[in-house]
């Protein structure tokens, strides 16, 4: 530039100077900035953090119905969590729960309980006020959240309200048994029951069952699979059901997938069943519509009954 001035020539512009971004380049930059780095895992499958799903309001509460194995009547439903991603569609829990922080898990539990309390009003509106909704309470939430107060403040004021069922694993509550017993007592005052989830999967024992006022025993799906042909599973199921009767606990079998499993469970005295044989998890609106169709009616035999074939498919990544 100095030489140019000395020679009287105008200084030339450095060819390496950055150019102004055009419309196409700006579009590419915006696209890169808006991409979500956690929307796919290392394996390329859809992933998202639970906190992000909460912040973006992607979380949805779905329901999987429970049926009386003898009458085939819908008697309850479990509230389940799904994420509806704007690009990847509906994601199952394995896509957003692993690695979730405690704060996010607590916030998720609060939301599910609040929605379950509100959704019972829809059950009553279609003629099923006796239907009990169940909420799975994750680790630490049972003793860390003011669950009893949340239910007391948010519960329907109708005298028909049958209460919630809170499903917990033994390991969750045994670490702080005194607090757990206080919470359980408060829940009883709100007409809420307590279910042992995945019974048989961990370190279940008779002594532990007597330490908390459980009302239901939910049999782990590992014992349900092929129970009509697997003698070991059949023997374990018979023992569990007999144990539940002695403790005056309602038995609920999860993961029922074939009519043979359903008939075997009914034969040994299991009261309630849940699984893909009867119904897949479904969005709330579909659940209420299904409940309305079957209110007060005996459902067809499960071997010929598949009203949920059109339920939205989950992205499994497989």
Residue 21 clears pLDDT 50, i.e. is over it: yes
Count of Cβ atoms closer than 10 Å to residue 42 Cβ:
6
CA distances from 1 to 4, 19, 100 (A): 5, 20, 59
Residue 160 clears pLDDT 80, i.e. is over it: yes
DSSP string, 85-139: ETTTEEE-GGGTSTT--HHHHHHHHHHHHHHHHHHHHHHHHTT-TTPEEEEE--T
Share of the chain above pLDDT 90, in %: 53
Helices 259-267 and 231-246 meet at what angle, rounded to 10? 40
User: CA 212, CA 173: separation in Å to the nearest integer?
Assistant: 9
Count of Cβ atoms closer than 10 Å to residue 206 Cβ:
9
Across the range 160-177, mean pLDDT stands at 84
- Set out the domains of the chain in order of their start, with CATH numbers: 50-296 (3.20.20.450)
- What integer pLDDT is reported at residue 37 of this predicted model? 47
- What integer pLDDT is reported at residue 202 of this predicted model? 55
Strands 59-68 and 74-85 turn out to be: antiparallel
Residue 3 clears pLDDT 80, i.e. is over it: no
Structure tokens of 173? 């509550």
Q: Which neighbouring-strand residues pair with 272?
A: 68, 252
Query: Is the pTM here over 0.85, yes or no?
Result: no
User: CA 116, CA 161: separation in Å to the nearest integer?
Assistant: 12
CB 257 within 8 A of CB 276: yes
Across the range 194-216, mean pLDDT stands at 75
Structure tokens of 208? 């532990």
- What integer pLDDT is reported at residue 174 of this predicted model? 73
- What integer pLDDT is reported at residue 34 of this predicted model? 44
Count of Cβ atoms closer than 10 Å to residue 22 Cβ:
8
* Better-predicted residue by pLDDT, 309 or 194: 194
Lowest mean pLDDT among 100-104, 208-212, 224-228: 208-212
């Amino acid at each position: 530039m100095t030489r140019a001035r000395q020679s009287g020539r105008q200084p030339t512009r450095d060819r390496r100077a950055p150019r102004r971004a055009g419309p196409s380049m700006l579009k590419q930059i915006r696209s890169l900035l808006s991409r979500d780095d956690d929307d796919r895992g290392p394996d390329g499958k859809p992933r998202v953090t639970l906190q992000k799903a909460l912040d973006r309001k992607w979380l949805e509460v779905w329901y999987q119905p429970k049926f009386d194995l003898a009458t085939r009547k819908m008697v309850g439903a479990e509230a389940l969590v799904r994420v509806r991603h704007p690009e990847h569609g509906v994601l199952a829990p394995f896509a957003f729960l692993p690695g979730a922080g405690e704060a996010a898990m607590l916030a998720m539990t609060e939301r599910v309980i609040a929605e379950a309390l509100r959704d019972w009003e829809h059950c009553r509106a279609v003629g099923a006020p006796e239907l009990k909704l169940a909420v799975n309470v994750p680790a630490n939430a049972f003793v860390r959240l003011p669950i009893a107060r949340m239910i007391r403040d948010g519960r329907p004021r109708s005298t028909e309200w049958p209460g919630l069922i809170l499903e917990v694993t033994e390991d969750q509550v045994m670490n702080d048994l005194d607090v757990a017993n206080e919470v359980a007592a408060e829940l009883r005052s709100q007409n809420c029951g307590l279910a042992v989830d995945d019974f048989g999967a961990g370190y279940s024992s008779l002594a532990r069952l007597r330490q908390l006022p459980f009302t239901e025993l939910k049999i782990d799906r590992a014992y349900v699979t092929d129970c009509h042909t697997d003698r070991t599973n059949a023997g374990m199921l018979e023992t569990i059901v007999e144990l539940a009767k002695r403790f005056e606990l309602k038995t609920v079998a999860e993961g029922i997938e074939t009519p043979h499993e359903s008939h075997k469970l009914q034969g040994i005295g299991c009261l309630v069943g849940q699984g893909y044989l009867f119904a897949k998890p479904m969005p709330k609106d579909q659940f209420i519509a299904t409940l309305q169709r079957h209110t007060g009616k005996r459902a067809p035999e499960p071997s010929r009954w598949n009203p949920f074939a059109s339920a939205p498919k989950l992205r499994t990544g497989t």
